[in-house]
Amino acid sequence: MRGEPIITALQAGRGDASIPFVGLSEALVLAAVRRSGVPLQRIRPALERLSSELGIEHALASRRLYTDGAELLLDYAEQSGDPDASIARQLVVVREQQYVFVPVVEQYLQLVTYARDGYAEVIRLPAYEGAEVIVDSRRSFGQPIFAKGGARIADAVDLFLAGESVATVAEEFGVPVAQLEDVIRGASRRAA
C-alpha cells in the first residue's frame, strides 16, 4: 500500500513531475531525517498529524521541524512564544505527545535560511566539497547559483563545456577558480 507523496511536486506535462522550491526544501530535510535513522513509517504519520491537527503544511520545509534521530519533533516553544524558548527548547515527540529535552539536531538547518514566514528561502546545496552553491527562491528562478556573485551554475558549466578555460570562466562569472573546478567535477560525475 502506497501513501501520498511526501515531497511536493507539480505535474509538468507528459507525465513528468516538476519539483517546486518547497519540494526541494522538503527533499533536503527528508534526506537528512532519513540519514539520521528515522524510518518512513514514522515520518509519514507525523507529517499527517502536523498537517491535520496543527495546520502545518509543508512541515519538512518549516523551521519548526526537528529530529532526535528516532521521531519527528515539533518545536512547541517557538509556536507558543514562550520567553524561555531561547534557553531550552521544549520538544514534543509528535507521534506520542511525550515531552523530551534533547539537543536539537541542526546539521540540516545549517544548510537552510528561512524567511519570515518560517519556510525555507535559501538552501546551500551539500553536493559540493568546496563550492558555495545555493538555491534561492528569489533569484535565478530558483536554479542553483554561486553564493558569491550569483552566477548560475548551468551558465558557468556551459561556458566551460563550450571550450573556455577554467580561468576565463572564473573571471567571467566572478567566482574563485577552486569553486568553479568543484562545480565542474560535480557536473562531470553526473554526466558519466
Q: Which pLDDT score is estimated for 13?
A: 66
Tens-level pLDDT at each residue, the chain (192 residues): 567 788 888 876 666 668 888 888 888 888 877 777 777 777 787 787 777 777 778 888 887 776 554 555 555 545 555 554 443 344 455 556 555 534 334 566 678 888 888 888 999 988 888 899 999 989 988 889 999 889 999 999 999 999 999 999 999 999 999 999 999 998 877 655
User: Domains of the chain (ranges plus CATH)?
Assistant: 10-115 (no CATH), 125-191 (1.10.10)
- CA pair distance 88, 79, nearest whole angstrom: 14
Query: What letter represents residue 51's amino acid?
Result: S
Distance CA(55)–CA(63), nearest Å, equals 14
How high is the pLDDT of residue 145? 95
| Half-sphere exposure in the Cβ direction for 146 (13 Å, CA) | 27
Q: Quick check: helix, strand or coil at residue 16? A: strand
Structure pTM? 0.68
